[in-house]
Chains A and B, each alone.
Chain A
Amino acid sequence: MINQLRADLYAIGRTGPVLICLAVAVLAAALYTVLQHSLAAGDLGPEAASGVQVLSDALMVSLMGPLLFGALVAQPFETKSVHDSLLASGRGAFVGAKTVLTAAAVTALSLPYGIAVLIGLATEQEFAPAIPTAFSQLLAAGGGLDGGRVGEILAITAAMAVLTTAKLSVCLPLAFVLRRPLVVMAIGFVWGFLADLIGSTAADVEGLDALVHLTPFARDHVPGLDSTGGDLVGTLAVSLVFIALMGLVSWLIFRRADVK
């Protein structure tokens, strides 16, 4: 598994998708923060908010997350590099490495938004959320930055990033089944928007609410300003267990699957 990870990291450093997605996330987070300030300062009218939303973490990660699952998991089936991976370390190690790598890469997409919040707060300017995501609300809440506040924002950022990754980790088994990057990306993108809706609908059904609470789709797992340390740990735990579960499902799917 270590060899697979080393090889994947080497490939990531020399091929486009992951680095491009990370660069886009950094640019989008920076631009989103600036535009939220413009909304608050009145440089942009309220009617521009819907346009600014496009740059939010909610949309960008939902768009680029499935792309990364497609590029990192499904692409090796198209290039046939999976052949050597299976010879080198076997199916379990391949699934394990892909689970760790995709989780890390998709989580990294959210981190620029957390850093942008820190920078935004450090400027002590006003910000207006274009869409009420956790990052936007942190930014809009304002307040100075001290050690405790920085720690709080970093903890919320980490929890939010891992939670978003967990929601999208459904793309992992999907990539092992479909093995086509574009199809994974398309389905994953739609899923990114439907997941919360399905989760909140299911949570309203009596008997299902307890089950939904054990998944990252429960609304009360979304971290915010009023989240306690226990809430964040709970969010992280549910998210990591769910990602591991998706890894297990992927292995069950792939362990006896034919590879073209």
Chain B
Amino acid sequence: MSETVLRTRDLTKHYGDHAAVHAMSIRLERGRIYGLIGRNGAGKTTLMRLIAGLSIPSSGSIELFGADAERPRTADLARIGTLIESPSLHGGMTARQNMHLHRLLRGVPDPRVEERLLELVGLAGTGRKKVRDFSLGMRQRLGIALALIADPELLILDEPVNGLDPQGVVEVRRLVRSLAEERGMTVLISSHNLPELFQTATDYLIVEGGELRMTLTLEELEAQTQQYLEVAAADPAALLTALEEAYPEAEARVMPGGTVRLPHHADQAEQVLRTLVSADVWPTRLAREGESLESFFLSVIGGERA
């Protein structure tokens, strides 16, 4: 059975009359990567702050590593690493000095962790360069290294790829995946970059207006956003037979009304048409269908479809 790392129950945070987070109940399991998706002001950062003990809930509870409380205990918070909004850096220090400072702060005895993490995020060669002279991407990468310094069991990353170049984005993706797969780290990651999150996360939490609108796994999201060919013919049975013979691996599905959906072949309309015609099956409809990631997201949060 999977181990629950974090569970919130009816978690609510009010700022005056405004509910930044409203009755949010989520559960995060060990070793999975949760993509937190939502528009600006949807409550993503507030949720992360509540989990990290930076904000105090108005009501509800947070169960962290099995300890249920109104807000997380200090001993449990020490098992978390965070990068929320912007990294906490001392501009007048080097990357190594920042690492050393945070290692002291976290009480990590092994100094080798500093160099190892700097190598991991590609900053080992920055030498005596002060952090104030770093690019935005370098700062983000150092922020991720700092979040990892105490070898956290739960890693919270708020927009970690902000300011990163494409190569940096890919590196962060690989890093996050390896942390989850090799170390069993649970990662909660927010991003505006939906395609990027789609390639990184194993599970998704879609929030809007401070409320959790939907939770789904990568497989469920893929199913929701899969592109397919929709084919119809006067003789549905002949159509299905022809498609199954030509594409036995395609998992063709018959829909109500007799149309057939052919996944994995959304961009092969011409080839499918030739196949059907050669089998003497004349399609009455042949169209590429399916929702894009953005369209699906908008449909969940109640915005206009793309």
Q: Give me the interface of A with B, judged by CB distance under 8 Å.
A: 3-4, 6-7, 10-11, 14-16, 76, 79-91, 93, 256-260
Q: With A and B bound together, what is the CA distance between A79 and B150 in angstroms?
A: 20
- Known A86-B77, A90-B77: A4·B88 in contact at CB below 8 Å: no
Q: With A and B bound together, what is the CA distance between A85 and B105 in angstroms?
A: 7
CB distance from A24 to the nearest CB of B (A): 18
Q: What residue of chain A has the Cβ atom nearest to residue B152's Cβ?
A: A87
Q: With A and B bound together, what is the CA distance between A85 and B92 in angstroms?
A: 19
- Chain B's interface: helix, strand, loop or mixed, by majority? loop
Q: List 9 other contacts, CB 8 Å, given A3-B105, A14-B93, A84-B146.
A: A15-B93, A79-B90, A80-B84, A80-B85, A80-B88, A81-B88, A84-B88, A87-B82, A87-B106
* Residues on the A chain within 8 Å of B97, using CB: 14
- Known A84-B105, A87-B78, A87-B82: A259·B92 in contact at CB below 8 Å: no
Contact assessment for B104 and A83 in the assembled complex, using a CB-CB cutoff below 8 Å? no
Q: What residue of chain A has the Cβ atom nearest to residue B100's Cβ?
A: A10
Number of A-B contacts (CB under 8 A): 84
Q: With A and B bound together, what is the CA distance between A87 and B106 in angstroms?
A: 8
Confirm or deny: B180 has a beta carbon within 8 angstroms of a beta carbon on chain A.
Answer: no
Contact assessment for A10 and B101 in the assembled complex, using a CB-CB cutoff below 8 Å? yes
Contact assessment for A259 and B55 in the assembled complex, using a CB-CB cutoff below 8 Å? yes
- Known A14-B93, A79-B90, A84-B146: A3·B74 in contact at CB below 8 Å: no
* Residues on the B chain within 8 Å of A88, using CB: 78, 105-107, 150
Contact assessment for B93 and A3 in the assembled complex, using a CB-CB cutoff below 8 Å? no
Contact assessment for B56 and A256 in the assembled complex, using a CB-CB cutoff below 8 Å? yes
Q: What residue of chain B has the Cβ atom nearest to residue A75's Cβ?
A: B90
Contact assessment for A7 and B53 in the assembled complex, using a CB-CB cutoff below 8 Å? no
* Residues on the A chain within 8 Å of B74, using CB: 89-91, 93
* Residues on the B chain within 8 Å of A81, using CB: 88-90
Contact assessment for A79 and B54 in the assembled complex, using a CB-CB cutoff below 8 Å? no
CB distance from B77 to the nearest CB of A (A): 5
CB distance from A87 to the nearest CB of B (A): 5
* Residues on the A chain within 8 Å of B78, using CB: 87-89
Contact assessment for A14 and B106 in the assembled complex, using a CB-CB cutoff below 8 Å? no
- Known A10-B100, A80-B85: A87·B90 in contact at CB below 8 Å: no
* Residues on the B chain within 8 Å of A86, using CB: 52-54, 77
* Residues on the B chain within 8 Å of A83, using CB: 52, 54, 82, 84, 88
For chain B, residues 144 to 192, give those with C-beta under 8 angstroms from any C-beta of chain A. 146, 150
Q: What residue of chain A has the Cβ atom nearest to residue B146's Cβ?
A: A84
* Residues on the B chain within 8 Å of A82, using CB: 88
Q: With A and B bound together, what is the CA distance between A185 and B218 in angstroms?
A: 52
Contact assessment for B102 and A7 in the assembled complex, using a CB-CB cutoff below 8 Å? yes
Q: Shortest 3 CB-CB distances between A and B: which pairs?
A: A90-B74, A7-B105, A81-B88
Contact assessment for B86 and A80 in the assembled complex, using a CB-CB cutoff below 8 Å? yes
Confirm or deny: B80 has a beta carbon within 8 angstroms of a beta carbon on chain A.
Answer: yes
Jot down 27 A-B pairs with beta carbons below 8 A, ordered by A: A3-B105, A3-B107, A7-B102, A7-B104, A14-B90, A14-B92, A15-B90, A76-B88, A79-B89, A80-B86, A81-B88, A83-B54, A83-B84, A84-B102, A84-B105, A85-B105, A86-B77, A87-B52, A87-B53, A87-B77, A87-B81, A88-B106, A88-B107, A88-B150, A93-B74, A257-B56, A260-B54
